[in-house]
């Protein structure tokens, strides 16, 4: 038995040693923050078989991240395999079998298994993975059949096994995936650093190359592949070559980068998706998705499914405004595909470069190949032939472009008749159209979208000309338009934009005939006085925007009551609350349609008396904007809006209190400079996103914090902290939430109640009260004593700090942070006070706080705890201390003071330190009122603190010892000192010695044999 046991030990050790890390490139810029959540997922200890997908565009760093994560975690599993280039290998003869063979070889630690078919491979893999936890990485997966050969047996994986997939497809096998990780581009600083390593061999550019380095980095938009390729190509060359390379880059993308990115384009299943991609990359980036769908559906494409496939392959994204966006290098790849169609621009399917388009139109050599063309003369140099009248563009230059469907012209004037103009146009965008109406011979019968912004139009169509298929008409900024056209010429219209048509005095009554109209914008039509009565006939109208129509009369708004389809109404800057019209605002607001989901009343002169008693007519309302109105308190009618998800009081500079708020998802009180209090209806508070900048007077925010003068603080807390002579405390400078600068104004010392923690800041260096642990360092480690009632009820913390000479930029959420880390249980609590004292240079400041710990906060006897205070570099900690408190102590204080003073503040008693905190990641709780991560990743990583780094810092700190902590009140602590560490070290030593002896004995026996 002894020999078999030794053999097993040797095999385990051999298996561990035989698995080596993967080779990864040096200079892993920005890697730590990008792999943190993946590492947490791998290390959380779950017994589930988990599948995580890492996706992003080509060159974004998916494989690099996967390798880094693999190297950091593969030894935690009994078996592991990293299968690279699955897409490429699977396309080879018997490629899937090769992949299965490699997987088995890795998991079985070098034992080869002969596989003849995919189905046999599945069976073999099922046997191999059923008895051991494995980490499996599948790199560059493109199709689901590649996964089927490897994941068809997911149920056979040993519990706790993890699979990571890298792919360019966001929706790959979504029904099997448990986690999805989208790889983000590098930020500006990370990009410049990575580029510099490849271009200069150091982490920053050399002095005379900074300008072009930044230009090239901007061009790459955070794509690591591009930064590496371009950086390496410019290593060691002169500045003249740099300049020439950048100029070429703007015209012709780098071939190596394009070839890498083109893989995603080539993987598109058919020419429908490819053509949609090319149209977007050449003409339609930044347009609304619905807008693009209408145009390209009119070109007989299946646009919705195509866009979804492009999103799936990370070729386009949809932003928060529903606009289609594309990485600049992806756009360059698409345009390069078109450029390579032919050396002659007129033989290409799409023409967008100014020089090419201008040449085609002046030489009149357009062809039937051209499907889209763009010409923006606004960007043309003033010394060009078009300005010197040497060349004139004529309409017949378009005659041979029989397949032209997309046309974008800007500041272009054409001479001639339009009878021979191309007849297949679906999209015409003509900025600065020079004529006062669209010529009657202009063949626009197939047009879907017509944009004529900043044009000279006085009317849209002459005579009885019909645009039967037109769905979107955009005439914004047409200052000469006085009377919108007879809309009977465009019966299919769905969206009408007449924004900022300053001369528009009326809208033709024929608008009532537009049975399909869903969107109407009349924003900033300042001379418009009356909405057409026939607007009530628009049974499908969902969005009406009349913001800025300052002369619109009240009857126009009152008659909207019967528009049952209206969901969005914007009436900003219409003075419906003007004092010259008493009662008008209440009447108008009471008559709004009950179907509204979003209502904007910004800058409408609404005061407290302008609102009706209730908003019963707005029971469906979800978003309400009351910004920039002279409101002083929360209108009563808003308290009944139970369905609100967004509520804005932006720049309501007279607003003093918001008491009785309903349950709101997002609250905007930015620039409400007089606001002092925010409170909610009973049971209506929930955590939400809040914009709360420039609110220096806000002292009470329910379920977040409360600030009050130190003289009004509960006697109980004053006694707990040992404070005295409150009246003699000197005023201090306080940094308030979201404050970007600190002024020299000083205010009286305040008490801050926040998340179950009380804090106060005051000048000086004499700390009141007793503290069992003090240090001149910024952290203290201790072992929790074994108390009679087995738990700690409170924690006192103090820090004496001063300001150093060198200031540095602020880091959010604040320059002061206390972190409590239970090393035994793997838990952390991080507290950044919303308000903090800022010392003047050479002045000492004391931060004194008391943490009221609930039972859920696990600080049990024997736990090793590290408490740290973290500050910006320009603040120096001079002394730091802690004191544990037991529950009985606090109860005695309660009994002693209850008769003398009010009960403890609800902001302090109600907020349990863990129960009301935000779990940023497993085991890490943010007690700041800001639950969002700190923007500076280096600073935030320091706050979160890596365990190994913390331990190393502990050992390096002089005079920093680990000891059993004592609590106040002469309690027999029976602490554990640090005996468990000594014991663990001894056990590891003796086990190592025993294994060595056994290995030596076994070797001797083998030698004898």
- What's the pLDDT band for 8 if we cut at 50, 70, 90? low
- Name the residue with tokens 């920053």: 204
CA 422/CA 831 separation, integer angstroms: 67
Stretch among 433-447, 656-670, 742-756 having the lowest mean pLDDT: 742-756
Q: Which uninterrupted H or E stretch holds 127?
A: helix 118-129
What is the topology classification, in CATH, of domain 258-340?
Answer: Arc Repressor Mutant, subunit A (1.10.10)
Which 8-state DSSP code applies to residue 507? -
Which 8-state DSSP code applies to residue 436? S
Alpha-carbon radius of gyration of the chain? 35
- What's the pLDDT band for 495 if we cut at 50, 70, 90? very high
CA 96/CA 86 separation, integer angstroms: 8
CA distances to 446, 514, 532, 537 from 511, rounded to whole Å, are 21, 6, 8, 9
Letter string b/e over residues 80-100, b meaning 16 or more CB atoms within 10 A of that residue's CB: bbbbbebbebbeeeebbbbbb
Encoded tokens for 348: 């290409």
Residue 265 CA, chain-centre distance (Å), reads: 26
Per-residue pLDDT tens over the stretch 870-912: 887 788 899 999 998 876 454 544 444 444 444 455 555 544 4
CA 306/CA 230 separation, integer angstroms: 32
Whether 552 and 529 have beta carbons less than 8 Å apart is answered as yes
CA 607/CA 581 separation, integer angstroms: 13
CA 470/CA 485 separation, integer angstroms: 14
pLDDT at residue 954 greater than cutoff 70: no
Which residues, other chains included, contact 306 with Cβ-Cβ below 8 Å and sequence gap of 6+? 272, 273, 276, 277, 296
What is Dmax (Cα atoms) for the chain?
A: 112
Instruction: Give the residue-averaged pLDDT of 181-201.
Output: 90
Encoded tokens for 164: 């990571």
What pLDDT shows up at residue 113? 84
CA 603/CA 581 separation, integer angstroms: 16
Encoded tokens for 987: 């056990």
pLDDT at residue 687 greater than cutoff 70: no
Q: Which residue has the higher pLDDT, 126 or 787?
A: 126
- What's the pLDDT band for 14 if we cut at 50, 70, 90? low
Whether 261 and 58 have beta carbons less than 8 Å apart is answered as yes
Instruction: Give φ, ψ of 162 to 5 degrees.
Output: -130, 140
- DSSP of 622-684: -EEE-TT----B--GGGGG-TT-SEEE-TT-TT--EEEEE---SEEE-TT-TT--EEEE-TT-
Q: What ranges in 683-799 are assigned the alpha helix state H?
A: 715-721
- DSSP of 578-631: -TTSTTHHHHHHHTS-TT-SEEE-TTS---GGGS-S--GGGTT--EEE-TT---
CA distances to 4, 995, 997, 999, 1007 from 1004, rounded to whole Å, are 15, 14, 11, 9, 5
- What's the pLDDT band for 406 if we cut at 50, 70, 90? very high
SS3 49: coil
Instruction: Give φ, ψ of 788 to 5 degrees.
Output: -55, -40
SS3 17: helix
SS3 163: strand
What pLDDT shows up at residue 871? 86
Instruction: Give the residue-averaged pLDDT of 700-708.
Output: 89
CA 735/CA 737 separation, integer angstroms: 7
CA 592/CA 33 separation, integer angstroms: 49
- What's the pLDDT band for 555 if we cut at 50, 70, 90? confident
Proportion of the chain in helix, strand, coil states, percent, rounded to 5: 35, 20, 50
Pick from 725, 767, 772: which is nearest to 749 by CA? 725
Whether 832 and 916 have beta carbons less than 8 Å apart is answered as no
CA 507/CA 536 separation, integer angstroms: 13
Encoded tokens for 973: 């602590």
Which residues, other chains included, contact 490 with Cβ-Cβ below 8 Å and sequence gap of 6+? 466, 467, 468, 470, 473, 514
Q: Which residue has the higher pLDDT, 154 or 777?
A: 777
Whether 286 and 324 have beta carbons less than 8 Å apart is answered as yes
Q: Which residue has the higher pLDDT, 9 or 228?
A: 228
What pLDDT shows up at residue 970? 36
Q: What residue ranges do the domains of the chain occupy?
A: 18-182, 188-251, 258-340, 568-703, 705-964
CATH 3.40.50.300 correct for 18-182: yes
Per-residue pLDDT tens over the stretch 310-353: 998 889 999 989 999 999 899 999 999 999 999 999 999 999 99
CA 958/CA 700 separation, integer angstroms: 42
Pick from 630, 597, 589: which is nearest to 613 by CA? 589
Cis peptide bond prior to 56, omega within 30° of 0: no
Per-residue pLDDT tens over the stretch 709-736: 999 998 888 988 888 888 889 999 988 8
Percentage, residues of the chain above pLDDT 70: 80
Pick from 779, 946, 955: which is nearest to 866 by CA? 779
Pick from 209, 368, 370: which is nearest to 279 by CA? 370
- What's the pLDDT band for 90 if we cut at 50, 70, 90? confident
Encoded tokens for 353: 């470069």
SS3 693: coil
Which residues, other chains included, contact 244 with Cβ-Cβ below 8 Å and sequence gap of 6+? none
Q: Which residue has the higher pLDDT, 728 or 432?
A: 432
Whether 882 and 866 have beta carbons less than 8 Å apart is answered as no
Encoded tokens for 656: 């003093």
Residue 816 forms beta bridges with which residues?
871
What pLDDT shows up at residue 995? 58
Per-residue pLDDT tens over the stretch 795-854: 899 999 998 765 544 443 456 899 999 888 888 888 889 888 989 888 999 999 998 877
Specify the pTM.
0.81
Average pLDDT of the chain is 82
What pLDDT shows up at residue 5? 55
- What's the pLDDT band for 959 if we cut at 50, 70, 90? very low
């Amino acid at each position: 038995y002894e020999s078999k046991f030794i053999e097993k030990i040797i095999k385990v050790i051999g298996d561990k040693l035989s698995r080596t890390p993967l080779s990864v490139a040096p200079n892993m810029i920005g890697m730590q923050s990008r792999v943190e959540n993946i590492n947490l997922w791998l290390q959380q200890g779950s017994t589930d078989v988990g599948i995580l997908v890492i996706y992003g565009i080509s060159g974004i760093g998916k494989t690099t991240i996967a390798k880094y994560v693999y190297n950091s975690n593969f030894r935690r599993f009994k078996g592991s395999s990293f299968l690279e280039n699955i897409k490429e290998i699977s396309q080879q003869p018997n490629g899937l079998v090769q992949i299965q063979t490699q997987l088995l070889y890795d998991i079985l630690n070098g034992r080869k298994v002969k596989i003849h078919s995919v189905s046999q491979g599945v069976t073999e893999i099922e046997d191999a993975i059923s008895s051991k936890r494995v980490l499996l990485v599948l790199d560059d997966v493109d199709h689901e059949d590649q996964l089927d050969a490897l994941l068809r047996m997911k149920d056979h994986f040993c519990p706790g096994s993890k699979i990571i997939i890298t792919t360019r497809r966001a929706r790959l096998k979504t029904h099997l995936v448990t986690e999805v990780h989208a790889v983000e581009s590098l930020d500006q600083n990370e990009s410049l650093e990575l580029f510099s390593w490849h271009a200069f061999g150091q982490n920053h550019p050399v002095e005379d190359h900074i300008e072009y380095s930044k230009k090239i980095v901007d061009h790459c938009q955070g794509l690591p592949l591009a930064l590496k390729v371009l950086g390496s190509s410019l290593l060691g060359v002169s500045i003249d070559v740099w300049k020439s390379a950048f100029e070429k880059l703007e015209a012709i993308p780098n071939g190596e980068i394009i070839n890498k990115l083109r893989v995603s384009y080539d993987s598109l299943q058919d020419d429908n998706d490819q053509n949609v991609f090319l149209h977007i990359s050449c003409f339609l980036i930044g347009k609304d998705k619905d807008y693009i769908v209408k145009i390209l559906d009119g070109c007989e494409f299946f646009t919705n499914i195509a866009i979804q496939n492009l999103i799936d392959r990370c070729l386009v994204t949809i932003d928060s405004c529903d606009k289609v966006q594309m990485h600049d290098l992806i756009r360059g790849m698409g345009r390069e595909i078109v450029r390579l169609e032919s050396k002659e621009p007129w033989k290409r399917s799409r023409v967008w470069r100014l020089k090419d388009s201008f040449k085609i139109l002046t030489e009149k050599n357009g062809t039937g190949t051209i499907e889209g063309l763009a010409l923006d003369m606004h960007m043309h140099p003033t010394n060009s032939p078009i300005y010197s009248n040497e060349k004139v563009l004529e309409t017949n230059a378009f005659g041979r472009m029989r397949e032209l469907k997309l046309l974008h012209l800007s500041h272009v004037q054409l001479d001639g008749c339009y009878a021979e103009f191309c007849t297949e146009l679906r999209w015409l965008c003509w900025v600065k159209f020079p004529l006062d109406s669209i010529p009657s011979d202009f063949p626009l019968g197939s047009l879907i979208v017509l944009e004529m912004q900043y044009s000279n139009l006085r009317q849209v169509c002459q005579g009885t000309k019909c645009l039967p298929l037109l769905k979107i008409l955009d005439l914004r900024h047409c200052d000469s338009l006085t009377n919108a056209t007879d809309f009977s010429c465009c019966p299919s219209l769905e969206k009408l934009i007449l924004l900022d048509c300053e001369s528009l005095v009326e809208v033709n009554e024929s608008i009532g005939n537009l049975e399909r109209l869903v969107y109407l914008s009349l924003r900033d039509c300042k001379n418009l006085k009356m909405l057409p009565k026939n607007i009530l006939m628009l049974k499908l109208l969902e969005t009406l925007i009349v913001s800025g129509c300052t002369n619109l009369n009240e009857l126009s708004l009152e008659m909207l009551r019967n528009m049952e389809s209206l969901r969005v109404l914007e009436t900003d800057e219409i003075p419906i609350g003007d004092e010259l019209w008493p009662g008008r605002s209440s009447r108008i607001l009471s008559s709004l349609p009950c179907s509204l989901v979003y209502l904007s009343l910004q800058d409408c002169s609404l005061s407290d008396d302008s609102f009706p008693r209730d908003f019963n007519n707005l029971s469906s309302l979800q978003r309400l904007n009351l910004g920039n109105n002279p409101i002083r308190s929360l209108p009563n009618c808003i308290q009944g809006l139970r369905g609100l998800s967004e509520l804005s009081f932006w720049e309501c500079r007279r607003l003093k209190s918001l008491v009785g708020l309903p349950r709101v998802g997002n609250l905007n009180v930015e620039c409400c400079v007089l606001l002092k209090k925010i409170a909610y209806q009973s049971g209506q508070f929930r955590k939400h996103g809040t914009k709360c900048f420039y609110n220096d007077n806000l002292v009470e925010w329910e379920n977040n914090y409360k600030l009050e003068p130190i003289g009004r603080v509960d006697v109980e807390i004053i006694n707990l902290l040992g404070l005295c002579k409150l009246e003699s405390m000197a005023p201090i400078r306080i940094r308030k939430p979201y404050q970007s600068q600190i002024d020299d104004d000083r205010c009286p010392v305040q008490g801050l109640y926040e998340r179950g923690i009380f804090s106060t800041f005051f000048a000086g260096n004499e700390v009141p009260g007793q503290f069992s642990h003090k240090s001149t360092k910024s952290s203290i480690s201790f072992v929790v004593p074994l108390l009679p009632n087995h738990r700690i009820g409170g924690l006192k913390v103090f820090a004496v700090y001063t300001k150093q000479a060198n200031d540095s930029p602020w880091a959010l959420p604040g320059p002061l942070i206390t972190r409590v880390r239970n090393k035994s249980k793997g838990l952390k609590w991080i507290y950044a006070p919303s308000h903090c004292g800022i010392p003047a240079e050479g002045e000492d400041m004391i931060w004194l706080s008391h943490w009221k710990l609930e039972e859920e906060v696990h600080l049990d006897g024997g736990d090793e705890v590290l408490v740290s205070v973290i500050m910006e570099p320009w603040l120096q900690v001079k002394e730091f201390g802690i004191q544990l408190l037991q529950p009985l102590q606090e109860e005695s204080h309660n009994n002693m003071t209850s008769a003398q003073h009010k009960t403890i503040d609800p902001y302090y008693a109600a907020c349990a330190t863990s129960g009301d905190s935000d779990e940023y990641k497993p085991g890490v709780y943010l007690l700041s009122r800001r639950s969002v991560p700190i923007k500076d990743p280096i600073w935030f990583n320091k706050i979160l603190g890596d365990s190994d780094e913390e331990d190393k810092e502990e050992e390096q700190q002089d005079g920093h010892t680990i000891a059993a902590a004592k609590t106040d009140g002469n309690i027999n602590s029976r602490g554990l000192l640090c005996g468990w560490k000594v014991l663990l070290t001894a056990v590891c030593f003796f086990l190592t010695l025993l294994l060595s002896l056994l290995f030596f004995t076994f070797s001797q026996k083998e030698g004898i044999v």
